Amino acid sequence: MNAHPSEWEETPRLLPRVERDLPADRHQLHKERLMTRIHEELAASPGPHATAATRPAARHNPFLRRMVLVPLTAGVLAGALATGLFVFGGTEDTGTGGGPGTSAAGPVLTTRLGTADPEGAARLLDTVSLAAAEAPATPVGDGQYVYIESKTSAISVRHVHGTTSLASSPLHRRQTWQSRDGKDGWLIEPGTTGPEGMTLAGTDEHGDEPEPTLNAPSYDYLTALPTDPDVLLAKIYEETKGTGNGPDQEAFTTIGDLLIESYPPAELTAALYKAAAKIPGVVAVDDAVDAAGRHGVAVARLEEATGERTEWIFDRKTHVFLGERTVQAARDPHGVVPRGTVVSTSAVLTRSVVDGVKQLPGAAG
């Protein structure tokens, strides 16, 4: 009755297991990332080996944030890998081409880099903060959903037989729905989900609901956040301590994530901009273009460790948030991504309140 599965008569045809190695360069890449993180954390902590007591709590699940909630980083990267590799592999290795449902990888976009002005950030953020405070925002009612539609694309780095190349995922639409409490949701994104999309609802193994956090907020969670910029910024630093490439960059990234795919009340949006103005290294950029081709001015920060600059793009006249992009603004320390490459880009097209998942604004019901 209690025989181990390897002894069941149902399993021999599933054994022995078929396994695969990561190519040596990918193994090495991930190992280096791990070791870099470890050495950074150790360098930042008081002792040679930080003890458990002094180590800050990191975010609950970095993977969840990147994979599901943040289209700009690894989520799209993974999507690009999933589609891009099929296509490339088809032509290079097997000659069979992409099967149905695979989308082609596009050319890598490059851009003209806007001029950064360290002095201008405070004034620009003050302006967009005022505009945000005055923008009308419909509160999300009981049983209603936040619907966000964006357009997005990102590059991926490919390693094939020792050579490295870049590919870009096609610019595509991403649609998300999230209930007020964050417990129910839906995602439709080519390359990540099928045309029907996938649910974002569900409990974890222990039957617990995932708790909303700064990096995975629900509307209810956002409405409970402090709107005093100093208190808010302190909370952001506290909750993201020990994660990402340094505290300032991580605070900036966290705010950017909230701007791109959540539905903060107007007072909170205004407070987020005021908080961002207090982060060291934030600059104004005179010109940037979002994934929908809309030009604007930007608030940006250069991540020293990667040479990437993340830009929040605002309409030049209305100061409404348009989208976000990350560009290779300085030298890539790995020597892979040329300066001026658009690493990822997005544009918020719709941000609205609807009555159910898969419902579109303006639809009856």
Q: Quick one: tokens of 211?
A: 């708790």
Question: Of the two residues 77 and 283, which places its CB atom closer to another protein in the complex?
Answer: 77
Does position 159 interact with another protein (CB under 8 A)? The reply is yes
| Candidate segments 81-89, 217-225, 308-316, 334-342, binder of another protein by CB under 8 A | 81-89
Question: Of the two residues 51 and 136, which places its CB atom closer to another protein in the complex?
Answer: 51
Q: For residue 10, give Cα distances in angstroms to 17, 25, 37.
A: 14, 38, 43
Binding mask 261-290 for another protein (x = CB under 8 A): ------------------------------
- Is the peptide bond between 280 and the residue preceding it cis, with omega within 30 degrees of 0? no
Among 71, 76, 86, 347, binds another protein (CB under 8 A): 86
Among 20, 136, 142, 335, binds another protein (CB under 8 A): 20
Does position 78 interact with another protein (CB under 8 A)? The reply is yes
Q: Which of residues 226-255 bind another protein (CB under 8 A)?
A: 242
Among 46, 119, 163, 205, binds another protein (CB under 8 A): 205
Does position 208 interact with another protein (CB under 8 A)? The reply is no
Among 99, 136, 335, 362, binds another protein (CB under 8 A): 99
Question: Of the two residues 86 and 177, which places its CB atom closer to another protein in the complex?
Answer: 86
Question: Of the two residues 235 and 241, which places its CB atom closer to another protein in the complex?
Answer: 241
**Residue 341 forms beta bridges with which residues?**
110
Shortest Cβ 52–another protein spacing (Å): 3
What is the spatial distance between Cα 135 and Cα 15, in angstroms, rounded to a whole number?
A: 60
Shortest Cβ 224–another protein spacing (Å): 23
Question: Of the two residues 34 and 231, which places its CB atom closer to another protein in the complex?
Answer: 34
Question: Of the two residues 20 and 317, which places its CB atom closer to another protein in the complex?
Answer: 20
Label each residue of the chain as H, E or C.
CCCCHHHCCCCHHHCCCCCCCCCHHHHHHHHHHHHHHHHHHHHHCCCCCCCCCCCCCCCCCHHHHHHHHCHHHHHHHHHHHHHHHHHHHHHHHHCCCCCCCCCCCECCCECCCCCEECCCHHHHHHHHHHHHHHCCCCCCCCCCEEEEEEEEEEEEEEEECCEEEEEECCCEEEEEEEECCCCCEEEECECCECCCCEECCCCCCCCCCCCCECCECCHHHHHCCCCCHHHHHHHHHHHCCCCCCCHHHHHHHHHHHHHHCCCCCHHHHHHHHHHHCCCCCEEEEEEEECCCCCEEEEEEEEECCCCEEEEEEECCCCCCEEEEEEEECCCCCCCCCCCCEEEEEEEEEEEEEECCCCCCCCCCC
Among 119, 204, 208, 317, binds another protein (CB under 8 A): 204
Does position 81 interact with another protein (CB under 8 A)? The reply is yes
Question: Of the two residues 141 and 194, which places its CB atom closer to another protein in the complex?
Answer: 194
Shortest Cβ 290–another protein spacing (Å): 26
Question: Of the two residues 84 and 256, which places its CB atom closer to another protein in the complex?
Answer: 84
Contact of 331 with 341, CB cutoff 8 Å: no
Among 5, 136, 362, 365, binds another protein (CB under 8 A): 5
What is the spatial distance between Cα 152 and Cα 217, in angstroms, rounded to a whole number?
A: 21
Does position 305 interact with another protein (CB under 8 A)? The reply is no
Binding mask 160-199 for another protein (x = CB under 8 A): x--------------------------------xx---xx
Among 107, 118, 202, 361, binds another protein (CB under 8 A): 202
Q: Quick one: tokens of 238?
A: 């506290």
Contact of 312 with 319, CB cutoff 8 Å: no
